[in-house]
Chain A
Amino acid sequence: MSENERDEHSGVETTGHEWDGIKELDNPLPRWWLWIFYACIAWSIVYWILMPAWPGLNGYTPGLLKQSDRADVVSELSALRAQRGRGEALLVSASLQQIEADPELQAHALAVGQSVFGDNCASCHGAGGGGAPGYPNLRDDVWLWGGSLAEIEHTLRVGIRSAHPETQMSQMPAFGREGMLDGGQVSDLTEYVLALSGREADPAAVGRAQQLYADNCAACHAPTGVGDRTLGAPNLTDREWLYGGDRDSIRAQIHNGRNGVMPSWEGRFSPAVIKALAVYVHVNAGGEASAASEAAAP
């Protein structure tokens, strides 16, 4: 190889390359850069030995440290299960009342309940449990099937009109659509229901509907219209309406008799999670007391 020309100014050899009269000086690499480069090479060899590195025919070299992300995930998951196991055991052994009364257990149940509610219940009942037309509001004091801790847990377990053998079942007939009542009778009953909840209604129609209500509705909704929780029959005298409370909505419900469905969660959640969910729903609804304690504290 011939001697490359030297740059007059600096006395450094050029690389012999030239671009439009610009020549590149053949300066050595900076020493610090070179040492880092060598150190990286040395480190890569250490890394090959310590960490999984080389593919083989049936696997790879595992490395001295036996590092494996998969094993890490497995051990973290089992640690998580063990951690949850402690809380779950507490949830299983304690009664619903005990869970709610103990601040620490309650906080645990609320945390579990919130995440389970968000994943499973929020799609119908709303993220905050506020409900929607046709989907009950879980934050208020209206409970079709009962609002005590035990009743909420029962509803969660068996569902409503679900496939569970013990499911809570009730059926509002589609009076108009199935021809049980004619259009005038449905309109009269609508006026009657409006009157039940203390609103303005046509007195003549209310009078005509007296007998109709007694024959068709009172069995479930009770003669006074207060409903019946054992049958899941809504109270018609209050201001909460599952399918809307205005005249048209009430008429539509008498005509069509819609019935919502809630799945049974037994078997899908562990009993501990169902308990946590029951406590979460109960606490966030303001915590309706059971019938016994309600009577004790007026």
Chain B
Amino acid sequence: MTIIIDRTRERPATPGPVSVAGRQRDKAKPKGLYKARVPIYPKLVHGRWRWIKWALLIVMLAIYYITPWIRWDRPGGLPDQAVLVDFAGGRFYFFMIQLWPQEVYFITGLLVAAALSLFLVTALFGRLWCGYACPQTVWTDLYIYIERMFEGDRNARMRLDAAPMSFNKLWRKAGKHAVWIGVAFGTGGAWIFYFHDAPDLIRTFWIGTAPMTAYVSCAILTFTTYVFAGHMREQVCTYMCPWPRIQGAMLDEQSFQVTYRYDRGEPRGPHKKADSWDDRGDCIDCNQCVVVCPTGIDIRDGAQLECINCGLCIDACNEVMEKVGRPRGLIAYDTDAAVAARSCGQKPDHRLIRPRTLYYALALTLVAGLMVWGFSTREQLSAHALRDRNPAYIQLSDGAVRNGYTLKIANRGFETATVELRYAGIPGATLRIPGQPAANPLRVELEPNRITPLRVFVTTPADQVGEGSRDAAFEIRLDGETTRVPTAFDYGSQPQ
């Protein structure tokens, strides 16, 4: 069922000469391991997919630019930015969620879930991510839009590039690059707001007192945006991005992809108004699908690595089909299996539920479920007990034995928590924090949103002293919930 299309490019028949003299001999011939870039001048197209792409472009740019400016009330001196990666404070804020660096596994889970959803979506509907949501696609689209504003559509741009330098060419080119750089700066500039209080940073950025990291990050992103979206464009997808190379593993003949229905289109050829449509395909070889393609390929060659599945060729072809009075959908989101079935005169069947999609959906549900479970059982408190090693135990004057601990209790809540600290597992043990009377349990106040270190001493009275080391635990009780911190109590070796 696989269609093999020979797209082999011209290649030297023999491997290149290896000797120096041979190399010098061959200097006259064109050489190089890399194919020179063929400039691409994508033509503007109108239609459903182009409309969806514009809408998504606006939505996604809006999300990107507006998000850091959303405020979210948080108690105390905490930042009131809804989405903030606060490196200085060691916190990640996302609306009502606040993550500590120790909980980075939630981010890992989120990334794994994102990867699995990408797998699932790709198996079902092909490279939707590449075509509509990838920043490279979105910004390239925006840059081409700007280019079109200054230099006109495809034919005008080609003429301008071929023309000798003139004032007209100069100002158009200069204007385009200026706006490009402006957009790039806006991109890099918006990025840094995710890492610092936005209203504060936008002020300090211009008066030169913002952190150096802000300026450097902004400069790097300005540079990459300008280069990637302005100059490299489809080369990022074709040569740099690993995803086009991986995604083939998720696709099969039942995946919806931008597909040229060769069963309908072939044999292709020019068509004149009076000509009959009998004994020929619907493709009139007008090349419109090629000229609108942002990666400069011919979709009629079949699914290929360079195709980002943006659907612009669908719009272009539909426009032509309407003009020549043939049904739309010669190029459409379709599956290889369906096209093959139709070419054999069978009725195509689309199967969205397949082992592959089931596996991906199952894995995604599993990871998402784990995340939800992790979040819902996330405790406000977590604690570690470091037992003193030197000395491991202290014998007191009345024969009692004392062990020292440094107890670190993290209170993730936004309010002071008054907890009951109990020492369990050792008979008769009492707790004492220096400067306070001994008791078991102790009442301890934990400051909000921070780790409270406590020096805690546990004493076993002389008449209950045992031998060696015994398992014990600190129990921290808050509103009926108990956090258990396992540790040990060392009775030491007793004299006499």
A173 close to chain B: CB less than 8 A: no
Q: How far is the CB of B146 from chain A (nearest CB, A)?
A: 36
Chain B residues within an 8 Å CB radius of A129: 391
Interface-side segment among B100-108, B379-387, B419-427, B450-458: B450-458
Give the nearest-CB partner of B19 in chain A: A10
User: Do B434 and A235 touch (CB < 8 A)?
Assistant: no
Chain B residues within an 8 Å CB radius of A126: 390-391
User: Do B397 and A127 touch (CB < 8 A)?
Assistant: no
Please tell me which one of the listed residues A10, A139, A199, A286 contacts residue B434 in the complex, with CB atoms under 8 A apart.
Answer: A286
B172 close to chain A: CB less than 8 A: no
Interface-side segment among B54-62, B302-310, B398-406: B398-406
Given the known interface contacts A130-B394, A287-B432, the answer about A239 and B20 at a Cβ–Cβ threshold of 8 Å is: no
- How far is A4 from B19 in the complex, measured between Cα atoms in Å? 19
Secondary structure type dominating chain A contacts:
loop
B39 close to chain A: CB less than 8 A: no
Q: What's the tally of chain B residues with a CB closer than 8 Å to chain A? A: 30
A178 close to chain B: CB less than 8 A: no
A127-153 contacts to B (CB < 8 Å): 127-130, 137, 139-142
Given the known interface contacts A130-B390, A284-B455, A286-B402, the answer about A140 and B396 at a Cβ–Cβ threshold of 8 Å is: yes
Chain A residues within an 8 Å CB radius of B436: 287
A166 close to chain B: CB less than 8 A: no
- How far is A11 from B17 in the complex, measured between Cα atoms in Å? 13
A245 close to chain B: CB less than 8 A: yes
Chain A residues within an 8 Å CB radius of B453: 103, 107
Chain A residues within an 8 Å CB radius of B399: 239
B67 close to chain A: CB less than 8 A: no
B389 close to chain A: CB less than 8 A: yes
Q: How far is the CB of B384 from chain A (nearest CB, A)?
A: 16
User: Do A11 and B21 touch (CB < 8 A)?
Assistant: yes
Q: How far is the CB of B448 from chain A (nearest CB, A)?
A: 14
Please tell me which one of the listed residues B388, B404, B495 contacts residue A245 in the complex, with CB atoms under 8 A apart.
Answer: B495
Q: How far is the CB of B492 from chain A (nearest CB, A)?
A: 11
A64 close to chain B: CB less than 8 A: no
User: Do B20 and A140 touch (CB < 8 A)?
Assistant: no
In the complex, per-residue mask of A97-109: 1 if CB is within 8 Å of any chain B CB, else 0: 1001101000100
B355 close to chain A: CB less than 8 A: no
B325 close to chain A: CB less than 8 A: no
User: Do B394 and A139 touch (CB < 8 A)?
Assistant: yes
B496 close to chain A: CB less than 8 A: yes
Given the known interface contacts A11-B20, A127-B390, A128-B388, the answer about A140 and B434 at a Cβ–Cβ threshold of 8 Å is: no
User: Do B452 and A137 touch (CB < 8 A)?
Assistant: no
Q: How far is the CB of B79 from chain A (nearest CB, A)?
A: 22
B437 close to chain A: CB less than 8 A: yes
Please tell me which one of the listed residues B22, B388, B394, B397 contacts residue A238 in the complex, with CB atoms under 8 A apart.
Answer: B397
A27 close to chain B: CB less than 8 A: yes
- How far is A139 from B455 in the complex, measured between Cα atoms in Å? 13
Please tell me which one of the listed residues A10, A128, A239 contacts residue B397 in the complex, with CB atoms under 8 A apart.
Answer: A239
User: Do A142 and B397 touch (CB < 8 A)?
Assistant: yes
Chain A residues within an 8 Å CB radius of B390: 126-128, 130
B435 close to chain A: CB less than 8 A: yes
User: Do B402 and A140 touch (CB < 8 A)?
Assistant: yes
Given the known interface contacts A140-B402, A284-B404, A289-B435, the answer about A130 and B391 at a Cβ–Cβ threshold of 8 Å is: yes
Chain B residues within an 8 Å CB radius of A71: none
21 sampled A-B residue pairs with Cβ under 8 A: A9-B21, A11-B21, A11-B24, A12-B20, A12-B21, A126-B390, A128-B389, A130-B390, A130-B391, A139-B402, A140-B394, A140-B395, A142-B397, A238-B397, A239-B399, A239-B495, A282-B434, A284-B404, A286-B432, A286-B457, A287-B436
Q: A100-B435, A240-B396, A283-B434 are in contact. List 13 more A-B contacts (CB 8 A).
A: A9-B19, A9-B21, A10-B20, A25-B20, A139-B394, A140-B394, A142-B397, A199-B496, A239-B397, A245-B495, A282-B434, A286-B402, A287-B435
Question: Which B residues form the contact surface with A (CB < 8 A)?
Answer: 19-22, 24, 388-391, 394-399, 402, 404, 432-437, 452-453, 455, 457, 459, 495-496
Ordered nearest first, which 6 A-B pairs have the shortest CB separation?
Answer: A287-B434, A128-B390, A11-B21, A238-B397, A130-B391, A297-B437
Question: Which A residues form the contact surface with B (CB < 8 A)?
Answer: 9-12, 25, 27, 97, 100-101, 103, 107, 126-130, 137, 139-142, 199, 235, 238-240, 245, 282-284, 286-287, 289, 297
